[in-house]
A = this chain, B = another copy of it.
Amino acid sequence: MTLDDKGASSPLDSFYAVVPAGGAGTRLWPLSRARSPKFLRDLRGSGRSLLQETFDRLSPLCEDRFLVVTGTAHAEAVAGQLDKVPADAILTEPAARDSMAAIGFAAAVLERKDPDAVMGSFAADHVITDEAAFAQAVSTAVAVAREGWLVTLGIEPTFPSSAFGYIHAGAALEGHPGVNVVAEFVEKPSTETATEYLATGEFRWNAGMFVARPSTILDLLHTWHPEFADRLRELAADPSLVEAAWADLPKIALDHAIAEPAAAAGKVATVPAAFGWDDIGDFDSLATLLGGEESTSTVVLGEPELVQAIDTTGLVVPHEKLIAVVGLDDVVVVDTPDALLVTTRARAQDVKKLVNALKDGGLGDLT
């Protein structure tokens, strides 16, 4: 069925959700670890991991047409968290080969399975607060994708971020009010350039959410990387080859492999999206997500009774024992069974530097 009077959150005919579950979330250490990455963690205190929330958000749209692509190391944990997802819906990557291989392989699998398929790819570790708006945007994207477009959801920017790439929206797309052809994708800008972008009203954040027919994705890939596309189709035809062949696939992001050249060729459309999106890149954005931009109190992720804060603002994540904080502004305190982090929201980006220092210092086991 297509979008009908049941509203935007009804299942979309032949719509498949593909969720690449990867990435260590290094800047969220020690909550996020190589062995227990961000997407497996409940970072909102909702009782559900980010992966589970991603499933909860997508399943009304795709019903049982849900695929996860994850590393071998995480397959068991992913299966454990997604008890409604059958084992054959979890595609495992023997090695990390970036997003083109992961999403392209899912496309090749779906291309064989359902000639009417439209797939949407959504990261497993993003937060979306307005699910109805998300469903509406996906519905629109699916309709556009059926016509052969590679569709990207363009997040309406709420501030001039220098942490995201941008989508420059071009001409309006006929027949789809509000949808535009993508003029170009642009790399992460300076804050100054981002401010100029926002003033034009033509730029959106690139959250890496793509919707397309599987064959659109593979055909575009074939245009610029024919052997890569052929190889993915071979692997989908005979999955027993995956184990041996995977490590030799090109390591490239979908953005670079197809989205950017396809945009230059006028083949990418963008659907505007304003649904409260966050990729929770670091503890500063987690603090904002949980407590607002300029919180005047201490935000607790976990049991509030384990935190005693006096004259303090920031984020505190307790683990089993009391954390008492006195007289610190915008502090970040994160306790875990085997490591404790103390930093500030302003230095949240430097947690990555810390994790590298731990690895260099022989403490890689803790990262």
Complex interface: stretch among A61-69, A75-83, A260-268, A326-334? A326-334
A363 in contact with B322 (CB, 8 Å): yes
Question: Chain A 332-354 against B: per-residue CB contact (8 Å), 1 yes, 0 no?
Answer: 01010111111110110011011
Query: With a CB–CB cut-off of 8 A, which chain B residues contact A186?
Result: none
Known: A322-B363, A324-B340, A333-B342. 15 other contacts (CB 8 A): A308-B357, A308-B358, A311-B347, A321-B338, A322-B339, A324-B341, A324-B343, A325-B341, A326-B342, A326-B344, A326-B347, A326-B354, A328-B331, A328-B343, A328-B344
Q: Which of B321, B326, B338 contacts A350 (CB 8 A)?
A: B326
How many copies, total?
2
Q: Are B324 and A344 in contact (CB under 8 A)?
A: no
Q: Counting CB contacts under 8 A, is A310 at the interface?
A: yes
Any B CB within 8 A of the CB of A171: no
Chain A interface residue count: which class?
A: 20 to 34
Residues from 118 to 176 in A contacting B, C-beta threshold 8 Å: none
Given known A327-B346, A327-B350, A350-B327, contact A310–B357 (CB-CB < 8 A): yes
Checking B324, B326, B343 against A326 with a beta-carbon cut-off of 8 angstroms, the contacting residue is: B343
Q: For window 207-266 of chain A, which residues contact chain B by CB distance below 8 Å? A: none
- The contact sample of 28 A-B pairs, CB cut-off 8 A, is A308-B354, A308-B357, A308-B361, A310-B354, A311-B347, A311-B350, A321-B340, A322-B338, A322-B339, A322-B363, A322-B366, A323-B340, A324-B339, A324-B343, A324-B354, A325-B342, A326-B341, A326-B342, A326-B343, A326-B347, A326-B350, A326-B354, A327-B346, A328-B342, A328-B344, A331-B342, A335-B340, A340-B340
